[in-house]
Amino acid sequence: MDHDHAGIACSIDDGADICAAIDTVVTAIRDKHSEDFVRLRDRVRHFELLTTAECEEGTMGEWRVTGMPRMVTTPWGGEEPEDQDQRRGVVLVNPATVDLIATVAHELGHVMATDDDMYERHAPSDEWASEATADYHAFRWGFEAAIRTHGIVRDRIHHPCLPGDPPEAAGGYHTPGLAWWRVDDDFVFHYCAVCQSENDDCEHPLEEYLSNKPVDPTPEELANIEAIKQRKYKITTLAPDDD
């Protein structure tokens, strides 16, 4: 590798703007969140560019696990492969991304994320749990403004809403159909209401969904139940498939 960023290797040549963004993010994490930086430095093999084909598909950045898992010693003295959320990989960046700092911070948020982190989001899908957790860490590190600005051009199928944004529609674990979800300041998802498409004549009772909520409804949500019952919510954003 030609150079490094605070000890993390980088194979990006002729990318002064990209490397400056990486330095900004990595230095901020190292200086203000040293324990997080230890985990990042342990997991990230290096930074590199996405391929031309991947950039043309619209990918702005990616955290990609690579290589074989390391072997770790078990409490009983044996060895076993490390967990998926401990494995090493590479951070890939599209040089044409709208906001390099937001992209790098978000991808390092994926590196920082653990399975427990994603479970705590109570998200309607694995995809949104992963994306929200990455944003959660980027916000903690001080990159909220960059993430919010970059959110204007994000793929809203792939990325959920941010804290304070209007609810987004998605299918998932907690509801058999589409539903509206909002995200609180801790990036925990809250169920809001049944979402009904123009082609769906079935309106499900809200009580059924409220009984399966991952978190207790807020007073505002409870006060809104009757109003929601009398209204058919239309889908205004595409929702991820619930595979």
Domain that holds residue 210: 168-229
Q: Which residue, of 106, 121, 153, is where some domain finishes?
A: 153
Q: What is the pLDDT of residue 242?
A: 40
- Shared-domain flag, residues 21 and 138: yes
pLDDT, one tens digit per residue, over 155-189 is 767 888 899 887 776 655 555 556 778 889 999 98
Same domain, 121 and 87: yes
Q: Among 87, 121, 153, give the residue marking a domain's end.
A: 153
Scan for tokens 């990209």, then name that residue.
Answer: 18
pTM for the predicted model, two decimal places: 0.77
Q: Which residues pair with 64 in a beta bridge?
A: 90
**Do both 69 and 188 map to the same domain?**
no
**Both tokens assigned to 227:** 């109003």
How confident is the model at residue 98, as a pLDDT? 82
Query: 92 and 42, same structural domain?
Result: yes
| CA atoms of 110 and 215, how far apart (whole Å) | 24
pLDDT band at 223 (very low <50, low <70, confident <90, very high): low
Structurally, the chain folds into a number of domains equal to 2
Based on the domain organization, do 34 and 130 belong to the same domain?
yes
How far, CA to CA in Å, does 215 sit from each of 123, 189, 221?
A: 11, 8, 12
- Given the structure tokens 């499900």, which residue do they identify? 204
pLDDT digits (tens, 9 = 90+) for 98-149: 889 999 999 999 999 999 999 999 888 889 999 999 999 999 999 999 999 8
Domain boundary among 125, 153, 181: 153
